[in-house]
Structure 1
Amino acid sequence: MLLPHGTVFALVDGRNFELYRNSGTEAEPQLDPLPVPELEVTNFSAGMRRNDVNLPHTSRTGDGSNDSFDESAHAIAAADWLNHQVLQHKIEKLVIIADPRSLGEMRKRYHKQLEGVLLKELAKTMAGRPTAEIVSALKG
């Protein structure tokens, strides 16, 4: 896959959010890191199943089950930030790489304009990986 010059790459997993821009050519991408914004993680009810609503508060905390809510909220916050950037015309070409669960949460939040600039999605955990490995995963 050709990755146009200027394309923004968003890597998301349950806890991390990384941004890169292709400063190279379509055939020879060079991913340069971009500053990562402070996400406003406010939607902690994301992904909550109906039967969880009636559980006492203590049943949902302290045992790690709360982590899935935090991870969903993180993915939603990343999608909301990306939507805002696209709507402000700060991102014109976008690739999203996220673990399958985060990608599923994010897809629910995509604005139509984000869908219009989205070149590719990859359901894979790549946050923290070297940029050459990221490019290789996209080409594979």
Structure 2
Amino acid sequence: MRLPHKAHLAIVDGASFTLMRNDGSPNSPSLTAIDRPDVEGTNYSAGVRHQDDIGQRKGSTDLNELAHAAAVAEYLNQAVLQGKIDKLAIAADPKTLGEMRRHYHKSLEAVLVAEEAKTLTGEPVARIEKVLLSD
């Protein structure tokens, strides 16, 4: 995923959310942490489709994680609508990314330059920048 200059990168999993900006170029990224927004997962209907019997027995459905993903999507939607983000890439574990996609506003979809279904939370900035250079 190549991240354009001044584009934002949202790094998300079921419990954390970090917003960064690329102050470098697509070929030489230089990420700067912008914020660690504290979003409150209140949309517990987000996980309704995951309420299958097998998921419940195996414990693979975590409504808190899915509600967090929905809350992050809402935060990003608002940031885009307010003009705070004009180019955005999202890196999230597959389950979180899938839930987030269900909540994207059309305006967010319009500024989305890339998605990466990979867990990068907790990784050092140098590792994240390396991922940005891989295609």
Aligned to 1:44: 44
Aligned to 2:31: 31
**Aligned-partner residue type, residue 38 of structure 1:** D
Aligned to 1:117: 111
Residue by residue, what CA displacement relative to the aligned partner does 1:11-36 show, whole Å, maximum 9, x if unpaired?
00011101111111232110011122
Supply the distance in 2 between the matched residues of 1:50 and 1:111 (Cα, whole angstroms).
22
Which structure 2 residue ranges, 5 or more long, are not aligned?
none
Q: 2:82 aligns with which of 77, 82, 88?
A: 88
Say whether residues 1:135 and 2:129 are aligned partners: yes
CA RMSD of aligned residues (A): 2.2
Supply the distance in 2 between the matched residues of 1:98 and 1:51 (Cα, whole angstroms).
21
**Aligned-partner residue type, residue 125 of structure 1:** T
Q: Spell out structure 1 runs of 4+ moving beyond 3 A.
A: 49-52, 63-67
Supply the distance in 1 between the matched residues of 2:130 and 2:51 (Cα, whole angstroms).
41
Query: Could you tell me the TM-score, scaled by structure 2's length?
Result: 0.87
Is the CA contact (8 Å cut-off) linking 1:9 and 1:97 kept in structure 2?
Answer: yes
Alignment: residue pair count: 131
State the SS of the aligned residue for 1:46: helix
Question: Residues 44 and 27 from structure 1, CA distance in 2 versus in 1: closer, same or farther, beyond 3 angstroms?
Answer: same
Deviation at 1:75, TM superposition (A): 0.3
| Larger-Rg structure | 1
| Percent sequence identity over aligned pairs | 49
Which structure 1 residue ranges, 5 or more long, are not aligned?
53-59
Is the CA contact (8 Å cut-off) linking 2:3 and 2:132 kept in structure 1?
Answer: no
Is the CA contact (8 Å cut-off) linking 1:122 and 1:138 kept in structure 2?
Answer: no
